[in-house]
Amino acid sequence: MQAVGIVEGEVREQVRSRALDPDLDAAAVRRIVDDVVADYSHRRLTTSLPELSDPAATAREVYDAVAGFGPLQRYLDDPGVEEIWINEPGRVFVARRDGPELTTTVLREGEVRDLVERMLKTSGRRIDLSAPFVDASLPDGSRLHVVIPDVTRRHWAVNIRKFVLSAYSLDELVGLGTVTEPAAAFLDAAVAAGLNVLVAGGTQAGKTTLLNCLAAAIPARERVVTCEEVFELRLALPDVVAMQTRPPSLEGTGEIPLRRLVKESLRMRPDRLIVGEVRQEECLDLLVALNSGVPGMCSLHANSAREAITKMCTLPLLAGENVTHAFVVPTVAHSVDVVVHIARDGRGRRTVREIVGVPGRVEGDVIEVADLFVTRGNRLVRADGWPPHPERFAAAGVDLARLLRPMSGADET
C-alpha cells in the first residue's frame, strides 16, 4: 500500500504540473500512470523503494483514484453489477442479477464525501444542509442519488444505479426472453401507429430499457422531445431534444420541475413526447398533452397494468384542489391507449407480464380495460381483447386482425 501511495502522489503531481483535467484528459492521465509505474519499477531495482507486488494492478488502482471513482470504479466497470450502494463507509453493497451482496470494500468517511463531490462535479448539482438530497447523472449515464445527515441517522447514503441498457430494440428484447415475438410485433405497430403507451413496473424492473426499445419503433421522420428528472433515456433517432429538471440554487431560485418541462415541450413542435417517469402532479400536464393530440409514452411505478391506470387517475389530483376525479378519470380513459407491465422475478429475470388496451369507456369511476396479452404458465400469450383506434393501425399499414390473430396451441408452448 505504501508503494501505491508513492506512485499515486507522483502521478497527481505530474497531472497538476501539466494542468490536466482528469475528466477531459483521461488518455493523457493513463499515459502518465503507465510511465510513472514503469519508472518506479526501474528505480526500485537500485533504491530502497517499497516493492510493487503487481504493477498492472497498481496502475489500475492509481488511475481509478486519479481519473475515476476510486474503489467504486471496478464495480462501475463490471458489466455484471447493476447497482451500487453505500450505507456507511464500511458497508458497500452491489446488486447483480442474482441479488445483492456485501462487498469487501471499506471506505473512510471523508473518502465517501470526496467521491460524491467528484461524481457531482460534471452534473452542476450540489448537496449540503440546505439541500440534503441530490439526484444526478454520472458521465456514463448511471444515476446517482445521495442523502446526508441529519436526514440519515449518521452516514451519507449513496446509491448508484448503473445505466445498463441490455437491449436497444424490441427485437433484442425478444432475444433476451423479455417479451414474446407476437407481443413485440404488436407493440412495434402500436408505437408506429401513434398510440399512447404507458410502461409500468417496480423498481429495477426494466422500465427504462423497455421505454428505450419502444422509442426505437418511432418513425425516423418524427421529432421527439423527452422530459426526465435525470437523463436516462438514450434514443437513437435523428431528431431528438432531451431535457432534464434542475434543482433550486443556493438562493432557492432557478428550479425547473418536471411539470415545467412538459409544458415547455409543447412549444417545441413535438411529434412525440416521452416522459421518463411520472411521480407527481406532472401527470396532469402529461395527460393534457396526450389529450391534445401529441402522441406520447411514459413510465411509472405500479404492480400491474390496472394499478398503473388507477395511479394515473390519482397523481393529477396532486396538482390542486380544482383538479377533480370527475375530470381526471375520463381524461385518462381517452389519453392512455396501451399499458405494458414489466416485472422482475426472483431469479432477476425481467419479463413483460401483461399488455392491456384502454378502449376509452368508463363505468362509474372505473376505466374499462381489454386484455391483449396475459401471462399463462410463465409465458405471455394472446388474450381476447382489442386495442383502441384500429383506424390508426390501418393508416400505418398494419393489418390488426392478422397481427393479433389467436395463437394456436403450438404458439403458446
Q: What is the CA radius of gyration of the chain?
A: 25
What pLDDT, on the 0 to 100 scale, is given for residue 1?
Answer: 65
Q: What is the structure's pLDDT at 48?
A: 85
3.30.450.370, 1.10.490.10, 3.40.50.720, 3.40.50.1980: which CATH number matches 73-161? 3.30.450.370
User: Can you list the positions of beta strands (E) in 138-253?
Assistant: 143-147, 157-161, 197-201, 224-228, 240-244
Which phi-psi region, left, alpha or beta, contains residue 210 (left: φ > 0; alpha: ψ -120 to 50)?
alpha
- Residue 408 has a pLDDT of 57
CATH 3.40.50.300 positions along the chain are 170-412
Dist. CA 231–CA 245, nearest whole Å: 9
Q: At the topology level of CATH, where does 170-412 sit?
A: Rossmann fold (3.40.50)
The one-character DSSP state at 7 is H
Residues forming beta bridges with residue 147, ordered by sequence position: 133, 157
pLDDT tens for each residue of 358-406: 999 999 889 999 999 999 988 999 999 999 999 999 999 999 999 998 7
- Specify the domain boundaries for CATH 3.30.450.370 within the chain: 73-161
First-to-final CA distance of the chain:
58
pLDDT one digit per residue (tens) for the chain, 413 residues: 688 889 999 999 999 999 998 888 889 999 999 999 999 988 988 888 888 888 899 999 999 999 899 999 999 999 889 999 999 999 999 998 878 999 999 999 899 999 999 999 888 788 988 889 999 988 888 899 999 999 999 999 999 998 776 789 999 999 999 999 999 999 999 999 999 999 999 988 999 999 999 999 999 999 999 999 989 999 989 999 999 999 887 777 889 999 999 999 999 999 999 999 999 999 999 999 998 889 999 999 999 999 999 999 999 999 988 999 999 999 999 999 999 999 998 777 899 999 999 999 999 889 999 999 999 988 999 999 999 999 999 999 999 999 998 765 544 43
**CB neighbours (10 Å) of residue 261?**
21
Q: What is the pLDDT of residue 29?
A: 92
Q: Where are the beta strands (DSSP E) in 38-98?
A: 81-88, 91-96
Model's pTM, two decimal places? 0.85
- Three-state secondary structure string covering the chain: CHHHHHHHHHHHHHHHHCCCCCCCCHHHHHHHHHHHHHHHHHHHCCCCCCCCCCHHHHHHHHHHHHHCCHHHHHHHHCCCEEEEEEEECCEEEEEECCEEEECCCCCCHHHHHHHHHHHHCCCCCCCECCECEEEEECCCCCEEEEECECCECCCCEEEEECCCCCCCCHHHHHHHCCCCHHHHHHHHHHHHCCCCEEEEECCCCCHHHHHHHHHCCCCCCCCEEEEECCCCCCCCCCCEEEEECECCCCCCCCCECHHHHHHHHCCCCCCEEEECCCCCCHHHHHHHHHHCCCCEEEEEECCCHHHHHHHHHHHHHHHCCCCCHHHHHHHHHHHCCEEEEEEECCCCCEEEEEEEECCCCEECCEECCEEEEEEECCEEEECCCCCCCHHHHHHCCCCHHHHCCCCCHHHHC
User: What is the Cβ-side half-sphere exposure of residue 287, based on CA atoms within 13 angstroms?
Assistant: 24
Per the CB < 8 A criterion, the answer to whether 284 and 316 are in contact is: yes
Query: Is the alpha carbon torsion for 388, 233, 92, 125 positive or negative?
Result: negative
